[in-house]
Amino acid sequence: NAGVTQTPKFQVLKTGQSMTLQCAQDMNHNSMYWYRQDPGMGLRLIYYSASEGTTDKGEVPNGYNVSRLNKREFSLRLESAAPSQTSVYFCASIFLSGSVYEQYFGPGTRLTVT
């Protein structure tokens, strides 16, 4: 049981390049989220997917797109990278049962845009 996995772990892009961050979970969770974490800003929600086939914008969606490929996989795409997108990106999946709500994070992708 790997939990939440993310690839790649590190990436350096030039301004204007594109890339896709991959996330997968093996916990059979319905909901998955993408966050970015910047020094002094905390964790901010980019996009989320409440269930397979649905996606919605979070707090900071500009410059990103997402795809919920199936129940396991949720990818984040940067179409034209900008230095402001230099950050650590975390994917999370959510266990929800009654009033219990638990969010589990992947190991993160450290992205630098030059």
Partner 1 sequence: QKEVEQNSGPLSVPEGAIASLNCTYSDRVSQSFFWYRQYSGKSPELIMSIYSNGDKEDGRFTAQLNKASQYVSLLIRDSQPSDSATYLCAVKSWYGGSQGNLIFGKGTKLSVKP
2 versus 14: smaller Cβ distance to partner 1? 2
Instruction: Tell which residue, 66, 92, 76, has the closest CA to residue 11.
Output: 76
- Among the listed ranges 11-19, 62-70, 76-84, 105-113, the one in contact with partner 1 (CB under 8 A) is 105-113
Selected binder of partner 1 within 34, 64, 74, 90 (CB under 8 A): 90
> 85 with 113: CB under 8 angstroms?
yes
> 44 with 25: CB under 8 angstroms?
no
Interface with partner 1, residue 100, by CB under 8 A: yes
**Neighbour count for residue 6 (Cβ, 10 Å):** 20
33 versus 74: smaller Cβ distance to partner 1? 33
Interface with partner 1, residue 102, by CB under 8 A: yes
Interface with partner 1, residue 45, by CB under 8 A: yes
E strands, 42-98, in order? 42-49, 56-57, 64-68, 74-78, 87-97
Alpha-carbon distance of 93 to 49, in angstroms, equals: 9
Quote the least distance from Cβ 59 to partner 1, whole Å. Answer: 8
Quote the least distance from Cβ 85 to partner 1, whole Å. Answer: 19
106 versus 113: smaller Cβ distance to partner 1? 106
